[in-house]
Structure 1
């Protein structure tokens, strides 16, 4: 069964029965405009388009509803603007959507707590792996490297699949990057316009010397 269609007119129109107007919305019956009251739709309330879940629930809960359209001259077609639904149905739909929103908010909070706990555990494991591979690395430095490289959403080594698996190459790459930036003039070379590959070549001996020293167990 086709839904009742209510039109938002572009021109000033008056009701063919009660002569009220100009009408914000009307129903065409036998090509004659009628106001919502004369069309027995005056008790319905307007629900604008935009919230699919609210629209679906309000339509399902309303024993009588109508589609509201407006003609788009540029596209030469009628476009849906929303629905007319029973006020009680809209209230029930809004309550259901609010309950869903609250449930989603609680789930997001639980997920955030879970992810934070996972991140803490992973950072601890990454720190331990750094200290295993580089036993002479200062503990504070290992903690900083692990925290920096494992930031969620950063795209850094610690967030890659290899990094999450504590792959030795990925862990070493994270430590090497830290040494390059903090213990060599690498950043200064970049600021002076030295190409990245050339800057890396210049500081490579110092980086490898530090890594070698950190790989040596403390005496």
Structure 2
């Protein structure tokens, strides 16, 4: 079942029923804004996002709850801001979180250590794969590329499904990106106002020359299918 959705409007809106406004939060019913009181949600309290355990427990304890969203114009999407829950449910959730705070803190520390160990192993594996594809790439450079592209939360190639699977095209794309930024005037071209695609065109030949040199004669001309520039 879809949750109830409450919107934090970006522009001033008034309730279509009681005409109160401007509204901090509203519910859209048949395209018209309703204040929380008129939508029978006025008794709920706001729980900001950020505490996953508290959010989960408050939602589970609340007979009625709603998701609060706000439109992000830059990303052109609605993003969660928190929940509206019953006040008593929030109080029970807060008490439960206080009761086992130490246990959850230790679990977070243990999970963080496990993630860090997995990241170290993956970075080492990715470094080895870069050197397999580009045996003449300097070792420290291969390690830097692997560490940069696999950084947790970065959204870079190494964090994609293809990157985690050591797909040859994804690995080559990570190396190509490193060469583009560190071994060509690409960034300087962008700073001078050169359009991105034109800047890529200007440095494409230099990038491919470096990749060919790093592949060595054994792999020269093999091709990777990852594209140029």
Q: Same fold (TM over 0.5)?
A: yes
1:159 aligns with 2:156: no
Which of structure 1's runs of 4+ aligned residues deviate more than 6 A?
Answer: 48-52
Q: 1:165 & 1:112 partners in 2: Cα distance?
A: 22
1:170 aligns with 2:170: yes
Q: 2:120 & 2:170 partners in 1: Cα distance?
A: 19
Q: 2:97 & 2:112 partners in 1: Cα distance?
A: 22
Deviation at 1:104, TM superposition (A): 1.4
Q: Tell whether the 8 Å contact from 1:136 to 1:217 is kept in structure 2 after alignment.
A: no
Kindly tell me: are residues 81 and 158 of structure 1, through their superposed partners in 2, closer, same or farther at Cα, counting changes over 3 Å?
closer
Deviations 1:149-194 (A, max 9, x none): 0001100000000000000000000000000000000000000000
Q: Which residue does the alignment assign to 1:32?
A: none
Deviations 1:46-85 (A, max 9, x none): xx9967859x99xxxxxxxxxxxxxxxxxxxxxx9956xx
Note the aligned Cα RMSD (angstroms).
Answer: 3.0
Q: 1:163 & 1:81 partners in 2: Cα distance?
A: 43
TM-score (norm 2): 0.55
Q: 1:138 & 1:110 partners in 2: Cα distance?
A: 35
Across the two proteins, how many residue pairs are aligned to each other?
141
Q: 1:183 & 1:129 partners in 2: Cα distance?
A: 21
Runs of 5+ unmatched residues, structure 1: 1-47, 58-79, 84-89
Deviation at 1:98, TM superposition (A): 2.5
TM-score (norm 1): 0.57
Q: Which residue does the alignment assign to 2:215?
A: 215
Q: Tell whether the 8 Å contact from 1:181 to 1:187 is kept in structure 2 after alignment.
A: yes
Deviation at 1:99, TM superposition (A): 3.2
